[in-house]
Amino acid sequence: MSETTLLQNGLVVNGTGKAGYRADVLIEGETIAQIGAVDPAAAERIIDCAGLVVAPGFIDVHTHDDAIVLDAPAMRPKISQGITTVIVGNCGISLAPVVTRTPIEPLGLLGTQRFCFARLAEYAAAVDAAQPAINVAALIGHTSLRAAVMPSFEHAATADERARMAQQLRLAMDDGAVGLSSGVFYANAFAADERELIEVAAAAAQAGGVYATHIRTEFDGILEAMEEAARTARHGGLPLILSHHKCAGPANWGRTGETLARMDRLATRQPIGLDVYPYTAGSTVLREDLVDGIIDIIITGSEPHPEMIGKRLSDIAAQWGVSQQEACRRLLPGGACYFQMSEEDMQRVLAHPRSMIGSDGLPHDVHPHPRLWGTFPRVLGHYSRDLGLLRLESAVFKMTGLPAAQFRLGQRGTLAAGHPADVTVFDAQRIRDRATFAEPEQISEGVRHVFVNGALSYEEDAAMPADYPRNGRFLRRVEV
Ligand code: ZN
């Protein structure tokens, strides 16, 4: 007889976008057994959810958690936000199928220790062995495919290299990958031409995968970069996901009206989605070409100067008596937060009906961007409740039903009898992010109870045992 838990009298926001309604939710074993008026005698454990929202567990569609789920499987930054599934392998960067101790840039965003999986199946087995607190679904990175196949990266792949990358990707799709990601913005992928991207993407299309991309530029040439991504997905024959959509750089601010209109037009011809995080700063490796002397930049990591982590680049430059570019060079290699977006643009993307929520958090940074710990409560608290930018049900839809459909995660993402019991219970009046740029590693408020595959895996303020259940697993793409 499997364990039963009754979530009594909560507001059920079921992940479809429809209005919430008052009901009980019965979890039996790993499954949602019943939604409605449930006889309490049916349950071994009863949790009073009056005044609380009962929602599907959140799906973080844009992460770089590939290695951290193995090394820190408690996944506190994520489960404390109500996240029950992360999609790893974004921006062209995945662990599989790369085997090396010296990963090329920007694969080092995942650390350097875990590039040891020649097949996605081996990574999946490592995830299951690590027993993370949350589920993991995986994209395969185009830059990683290049690293696995090509001896140098300053040119577009040859016919032979394209065929070998496609073959590697087909194997990964057999192992359950949800699709291909690319990061043609980054060194070591920038030289890829459309033929390379299309031929590789087509290998994911045959198995029903998606193509998620960090496009070639989010600065002045963004429309052309979006068109390139759309052509790649169209000719490759698979749905497009535009990663962390933004108009970057002060000269480009105000243009999301234009980019979203372009996306809507493209979407009349092909399936398109996008993801967004609720902050005006991006974060990535430290790069001199992103230092314009105008925007604020905060250092999140620096190998030669760890004492400067958490400081503003402009302050460091002043202290050293050099230009910001020179200060940047001295800090390399490292990472940074770049305040490269306008609030108005970000809000427009967040409110767009097609956008999903993805944290893009970087868990290996010493002083990470607060999005790692705060993204989902920030959308629900600050943007939905406090500013009224989007309805509660719409915000939940962007975190649950929409991503589950786009990434082929089957019945996860919506609450209904028979669905896997990934459930997040939160207080809509109280939920709020506490992570800031000054103090980024802060647990959010208002996430009350989180169930992963039926196991109660997180409770706010509770004296949870140090080893409370970790019940996540590797999720294979669901065949439809
Ligand atoms: Zn990216």
CA of 91 to the centre of ligand 1 (A): 4
Final residue in a domain of this structure, among 412, 429, 451: 412
CA of 433 to the centre of ligand 1 (A): 23
Q: Is residue 352 part of a domain?
A: yes
| Distance (Å) from CA 92 to ligand 1 centroid | 8
Name the domain boundary from 339, 358, 376.
Answer: 339
CA of 282 to the centre of ligand 1 (A): 9
CA–centroid distance, residue 144 to ligand 1 (Å): 14
Please indicate, yes or no, whether residues 288 and 169 belong to a single structural domain of this protein. Answer: no
| Structural domain includes residue 468 | no
pLDDT given for residue 465 in this prediction:
59
Confidence of residue 466 (pLDDT cuts 50, 70, 90): low
> Does residue 479 register a pLDDT over 90?
no
Residues in the chain, total: 480
**93 within some domain:** yes
- If asked whether residues 244 and 151 sit together in one domain, one would say yes
pLDDT of 120-150, one tens digit each? 999 999 999 999 999 999 999 999 999 999 9
Task: Express as a percent the part of the chain with pLDDT over 70.
Answer: 98
Q: Cα(185) to centroid of ligand 1, in Å?
A: 8
Looking at the domain assignment, is residue 421 inside a domain?
no
If asked whether residues 70 and 184 sit together in one domain, one would say yes
Look up the CATH number of the domain holding residue 403. 3.20.20.140
**CATH code: domain of residue 290:** 3.30.1490.130
167 and 260 belong to one structural domain: yes
Tell me the average pLDDT across 381-406.
Answer: 98
Give the structural domain span for 154: 57-283+340-412
My answer on whether 231 and 129 are in the same domain is yes
- Does 443 reside within a domain? no
What's the gap in Å between 281 CA and the centre of ligand 1?
A: 13
Q: How far is residue 356's CA from residue 132's CA, in Å, rounded to a whole number?
A: 23
- State the distance from the centre of ligand 1 to the C-alpha of 181, rounded, in angstroms: 10
224 and 311 in a single domain? The answer is no
H-only helix segments in 371-432: 371-378, 392-399, 401-406
Residue 38 phi/psi, 5-degree rounding, is -110, 135
Q: What is the pLDDT of residue 2?
A: 76
Cα of 202 from ligand 1 centre, angstroms: 21
CA neighbor of 292 nearest in space, from 262, 256, 251: 251
Tokens 């992963």 sit on residue? 452
Does residue 300 sit in the same domain as residue 361?
no
Cα 456 from chain centroid? 23
In a domain, 404, yes or no: yes
Domain count, the chain: 2
Query: How many CB atoms neighbour CB 460 within 10 A?
Result: 19
Which is nearest to 229 in space by CA: 194, 267, 203, 277? Answer: 194
Q: How far is the CA of 22 from the centre of ligand 1 (A)?
A: 39
Expressed in angstroms and rounded, the spacing between residue 284 Cα and the centre of ligand 1 is: 8
Residue 321 Cα to ligand 1 midpoint, Å, equals: 32
Indicate the residue among 412, 428, 458 that finishes a domain: 412
256: in domain: yes
Residues 203 and 291 in one domain: no
Distance 62 CA to ligand 1 centre (A): 9
Give me ligand 1 centre to Cα 243, in Å. 6
Report the separation in Å between the CA atom of 247 and the middle of ligand 1, taken as the mean of its atom positions. Answer: 13
Question: Do 231 and 317 share a domain, yes or no?
Answer: no
Average of per-residue pLDDT values in the chain: 96
206 and 82 in a common domain: yes
134 and 184 co-located in one domain: yes
Spacing of C-alpha 317 from chain mean position: 33
DSSP 108-157: GGG-SS--B-SSHHHHHHHHHHH--SSEEEEEEEHHHHHHHH-S--SSPP
Q: 328 with 350, same domain?
A: no
CA of 95 to the centre of ligand 1 (A): 15
CA of 465 to the centre of ligand 1 (A): 36
Ligand 1 centroid to residue 276 C-alpha, Å: 11
- 450-473 average pLDDT score: 86
Query: Among candidates 417, 412, 279, 427, which has minimal Cα distance to 342?
Result: 279
Query: Cα(29) to centroid of ligand 1, in Å?
Result: 37
Centre a 10 Å sphere on the Cβ of residue 135 and count the other Cβ atoms it contains: 25
* Distance (Å, whole) CA 244 – CA 358: 7
Average pLDDT, stretch 229-239?
Answer: 98
318 band by pLDDT with thresholds 50, 70 and 90 = very high
Nearest to 91 by CA among 124, 58, 137, 139: 139
Residue 9 has pLDDT above 90, yes or no: yes
Q: What is the whole-number distance in angstroms between the Cα of residue 227 and the centre of ligand 1?
A: 17
Average pLDDT (55-77) is 97
448 within domain boundaries: no
